[in-house]
């Protein structure tokens, strides 16, 4: 890992650009006063030349690090061919990507491409409702099976529909009235009362194998099995939201593959799929996918040739580096190290997560202060995330070496020492 050079992070370049950002950008993000400019491997560089170790991966997007040569080569080659094709015509890049994605499954799937995770989940909800509408004989209005069941603590996007599916009131504030037909249940609750929320009126159940924004909470195998049984009993479709957990992040290509005999009807993915290029995908069993007949849904930029070419390179590179095996090593090293840090600092009540998606929940004495750790880390040139006010979230580049991982964790330990001393 390139040595971290400590520099003044707030010279005129940063200050001027932050001032312009406040003038010209909508203020919907709580951004650190850092202007990132370049990236290489597991590090990024700001406009003032300061290097940062990236333990955030752009919120699980840059899983192959920054400026990866295979992705760069795919981008350059694709850019010399064709940039955009109307969906009135076929183009080879999207066909190739769809084929490579299908090979990751043990059963047939068909792909719909879009530009983001929110759009992929929007498509999943639309296809689920239309599937039941068609099965009911296409009557006027909604079919009986039209409700979407999601789980408290989940996160499914920022469109009005997907934010409604996100069963967290803080994301609904100011946007009422919300779309109808959404019902909420409790995550990891196998009680009959909770499962009975899934009924003959349920079109689909959408869930995450690990709730990312909800605090990095993994699903229990018995919960997943119970939900799938209930879906089978009622005819509801099972949607796995793999936006954040997909493409090897958890040690499998998709998190649902950690659970025995689980066969989702629909899977959505994005983030790491493009390695930094904006792309999302909804993958559905053919009998479900056919509900999106001609004219029922679309995306102007969905299946963009350049984005699809890079995404295909992402999948190939993940195979080449045996990413799922690497993730298991990352998980063990990180959990062991965080446990050792905790034995010294007594800062965490729990360290949890799966693969290269780790959450560390702060003890009650530090409640609500996870964002303070992010600020201290940035000052020490380390990028980390939060998952709610009490959980430190770490999402490592999957290309990281054991040596660089250990060095980055040394930095994190110093950050946590500073945080404890300050509190």
User: By the 8 A CB rule, do 182 and 220 touch?
Assistant: no
**What CA–CA distance (Å, rounded) separates 219 from 260?**
13
Buried b (16+ CB within 10 A) or exposed e, 341-359: bbeeeebbbebbbbbbbbb
For 88-151, the DSSP string reads TS--HHHHHHHHHHHTTSSS--EEEEESSHHHHHHHHHHHHHHHHHHHTT--SS--S--EEEEE
End-to-end CA distance of the chain: 31
Q: Which residues contact 253 (CB under 8 A, 6 or more apart)?
A: 104, 246, 247, 324
CATH node for 70-320:
3.40.640.10
Cβ-in-10-Å burial (0-12, 13-18, 19+) of 383 comes to buried
Cα dihedral sign, 75-81-85-91: negative
Write out the chain's pLDDT in tens, 423 residues.
Answer: 444 444 444 456 999 999 999 999 999 999 999 999 999 999 999 999 999 999 999 999 999 999 999 999 999 999 999 999 999 999 999 999 999 999 999 999 999 999 999 999 999 999 999 999 999 987 777 789 999 999 999 999 999 999 999 999 999 999 999 999 999 999 999 999 999 999 999 999 999 999 999 999 999 999 999 999 999 999 999 999 999 999 999 999 999 999 999 999 999 999 999 999 999 999 999 999 999 999 999 999 999 999 999 999 999 999 999 999 999 999 999 999 999 999 999 999 999 999 999 999 999 999 999 999 999 999 999 999 999 999 999 999 999 999 999 999 999 999 999 999 999
Q: What CA–CA distances, in Å, run from 30 to 34, 288, 386?
A: 12, 39, 12
CATH topology assigned to domain 12-67+322-422 = 3.90.1150
Is the bond preceding residue 177 a cis peptide, omega within 30 degrees?
yes
The pLDDT of residue 6: 41
Question: Looking at residue 236, what DSSP letter applies?
Answer: -
205 forms beta bridges with: 149, 238
Residue-level pLDDT at 12: 63
Q: What is the pLDDT of residue 11?
A: 54
- Helical axes 323-345 vs 305-320, angle rounded to 10°: 80
The answer for residues whose C-beta is within 8 angstroms of residue 332's C-beta and 6 or more apart is: none
- The SS3 call for residue 252 is coil
pLDDT in the model for residue 368: 96
Nearest to 148 by CA among 124, 169, 119: 124
**What are the residue ranges spanned by the domains of the chain?**
12-67+322-422, 70-320
Coil, helix or strand at residue 293 = coil
């Amino acid at each position: 890992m390139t040595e971290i050079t400590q520099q003044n992070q707030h010279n005129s370049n940063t200050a001027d650009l932050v001032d312009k950002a406040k003038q010209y950008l909508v203020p919907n993000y709580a951004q650190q006063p850092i202007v990132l400019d370049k990236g290489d491997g597991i590090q990024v560089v700001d406009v003032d030349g300061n290097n940062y170790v990236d333990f955030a991966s752009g919120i699980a997007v840059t899983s192959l690090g920054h400026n990866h040569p295979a992705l760069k080569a795919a981008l350059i080659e694709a850019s010399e061919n064709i940039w955009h094709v109307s969906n009135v015509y076929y183009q080879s890049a999207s066909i190739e990507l769809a084929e490579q994605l299908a090979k990751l499954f043990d059963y047939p799937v068909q792909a719909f491409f879009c530009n983001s995770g929110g759009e992929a989940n929007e498509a999943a909800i639309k296809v689920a409702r239309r599937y039941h509408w068609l099965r009911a004989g296409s009557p006027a209005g909604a079919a009986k099976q039209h409700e979407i069941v999601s789980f408290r603590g989940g996160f499914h996007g920022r469109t009005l529909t997907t934010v409604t599916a996100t069963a967290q009131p803080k994301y609904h504030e100011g946007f009422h009235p919300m779309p109808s037909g959404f019902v909420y249940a409790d995550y990891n609750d196998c009680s009959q009362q909770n499962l009975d929320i899934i009924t003959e009126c349920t079109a689909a159940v959408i869930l995450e194998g690990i709730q990312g924004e909800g605090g990095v909470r993994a699903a229990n195998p018995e919960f997943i099995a119970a939900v799938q049984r209930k879906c089978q009993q009622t005819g509801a479709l099972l949607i796995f939201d793999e936006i954040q957990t997909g493409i090897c992040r958890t040690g499998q290509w998709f998190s649902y593959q950690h659970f025995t005999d689980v066969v989702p009807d629909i899977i959505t993915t994005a983030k790491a799929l493009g390695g930094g290029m904006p792309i999302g995908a909804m993958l559905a069993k053919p009998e479900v996918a056919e509900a999106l007949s001609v004219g029922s849904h679309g995306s102007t930029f969905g299946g963009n040739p350049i984005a699809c070419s890079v995404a295909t390179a992402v999948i190939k590179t993940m195979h080449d580096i045996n990413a799922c095996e690497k993730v298991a090593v990352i998980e063990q090293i990180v959990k062991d190290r965080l446990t050792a840090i905790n034995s010294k600092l007594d800062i965490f009540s729990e360290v949890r997560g799966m693969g290269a998606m780790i959450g560390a929940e702060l003890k009650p004495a530090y409640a609500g202060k996870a964002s303070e750790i992010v600020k201290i880390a940035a000052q020490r040139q380390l990028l980390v995330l939060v998952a709610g006010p009490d959980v430190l979230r770490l999402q490592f580049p999957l290309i990281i070496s054991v040596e660089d991982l250990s060095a980055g964790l040394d930095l994190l330990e110093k950050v946590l020492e500073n945080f404890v001393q300050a509190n």
